[in-house]
Amino acid sequence: METNSQLGGSEPIICAHLLRKVDAALLELLRSLTVAEWDLQTVAPRWKVRDVAAHLLDTALRKLSLVRDSCFVENVRLQSPQDVVAYVNRLNNEGVTVYRRLSPAAMIDLTALACDQSASFHESLDPYAPATFNVSWAGEDKSLNWFDTARELTERWHHQQQIRLATGQPGIMIRELYHPVLDCFVRGLPHSYRDMDAPAGTSVLLEISGESGGEWAVSRDAKGWSFAREYPKNIACKVILPDAIAWRVFTKGISRDAVRSQINVEGNEALVAGILGLTAIVG
């Protein structure tokens, strides 16, 4: 793992330029699939490869319609986090139901168009301007565009990784593309720890090992949990999580029991729950 000069979690993730690279890899992947591989099961229990590909097409078009084009065809009142989850799940299910019917050739052609327009749109945004949608899984009521774009990168990256895992294709786990994904996922840690009671001054250090990893620390004070900019003097718990499985931990792609046998924990075991309980997706 590269040694970082400082802990992660404090600086914006500027990554709009990476969307084209991730989506270019996606299109190359989809074009390489055999007829049988489109129907292989992924780690998403309800989705086969064609369903994940349909979801990637649907969400790209949906984001362009809602955010770029300001096209809201239904009035929805979302009054709780549960409402948000139910609404997103409904949209996801509807989109997959429609687009999974497409032939691979039609889906690939439409995905290429959607990816190009999506990348252009995100590249056009002021990263420090308010985003249309907040990053709810990080506990934010309002978010900036850089965070919403980073969330988009995580979506494009991790769903593609699900297809690669299902079909036995090599992952795109190079640091340039994977580290920003991990950095974005981990931004949800303070929210994940929000209900965990601990004395003020308690700190937890997460080390994601491997070429794409890094280190992040959250500390508790009178106001709650937040990222530490410098290494805490007293670390109550240190967790070492391999980058090979980190993306699956934060996207409900692996059981917690399976994770526990693959991580190293030093210190207070109870504090591990905030890391393993982090889900950096909606639904």
Q: Which domain holds residue 163?
A: 16-181
Please tell me whether residues 210 and 124 are part of one structural domain: no
- pLDDT of 3: 41
The radius of gyration computed from the CA coordinates of the chain, to the nearest angstrom, equals 19
pLDDT over threshold 70, residue 2: no
Q: pTM for the complete prediction?
A: 0.94
pLDDT over threshold 50, residue 137: yes
- pLDDT of 4: 45
Please tell me whether residues 136 and 25 are part of one structural domain: yes
Contact 113, 55 (CB under 8 A): no
Please tell me whether residues 265 and 201 are part of one structural domain: yes
Please tell me whether residues 169 and 205 are part of one structural domain: no
Q: What is the pLDDT of residues 138-170, one digit of tens each?
A: 999 999 999 999 999 999 999 999 999 999 999
Sign of CA dihedral 2, 4, 7, 12: negative
Instruction: Kindly report the CATH number assigned to the domain that includes residue 152.
Output: 1.20.120.450
Q: What is the pLDDT of residues 57-100, one digit of tens each?
A: 999 999 999 999 999 888 888 778 888 889 999 999 999 999 99
Percent of the chain with pLDDT over 70: 98
Given 158, 181, 204, the domain boundary residue is: 181
Q: What is the pLDDT of residues 179-210, one digit of tens each?
A: 999 999 999 999 999 999 999 999 999 999 99
Please tell me whether residues 52 and 177 are part of one structural domain: yes
The CA-based angle 11-269-212, given to 5 degrees, is: 35
Given 127, 157, 181, the domain boundary residue is: 181
Please tell me whether residues 88 and 166 are part of one structural domain: yes
Please tell me whether residues 72 and 203 are part of one structural domain: no
Domain count, the chain: 2
**What average pLDDT does range 9-32 have in this prediction?**
98
Please tell me whether residues 44 and 124 are part of one structural domain: yes
**Calpha distance 225→227 (Å, rounded):** 7
- pLDDT of 203: 98
pLDDT over threshold 50, residue 224: yes
Q: Which residues pair with 188 in a beta bridge?
A: none
**Calpha distance 30→51 (Å, rounded):** 12
- Rounded to a whole number, what is the distance in angstroms from the first to the last CA of the chain? 31
Please tell me whether residues 100 and 213 are part of one structural domain: no
Given 181, 202, 226, the domain boundary residue is: 181
Single out the residue of 180, 261, 191, 169 nearest to residue 214, CA to CA.
Answer: 180
Binned at pLDDT 50, 70 and 90, residue 1 comes out as: very low
Contacts of 57 (CB under 8 A, 6+ apart): 95, 99, 107, 110, 111, 114
Please tell me whether residues 66 and 87 are part of one structural domain: yes
- pLDDT of 73: 87
Percent of the chain with pLDDT over 90: 92
What value does the mean pLDDT of the chain take?
A: 95
Please tell me whether residues 104 and 206 are part of one structural domain: no
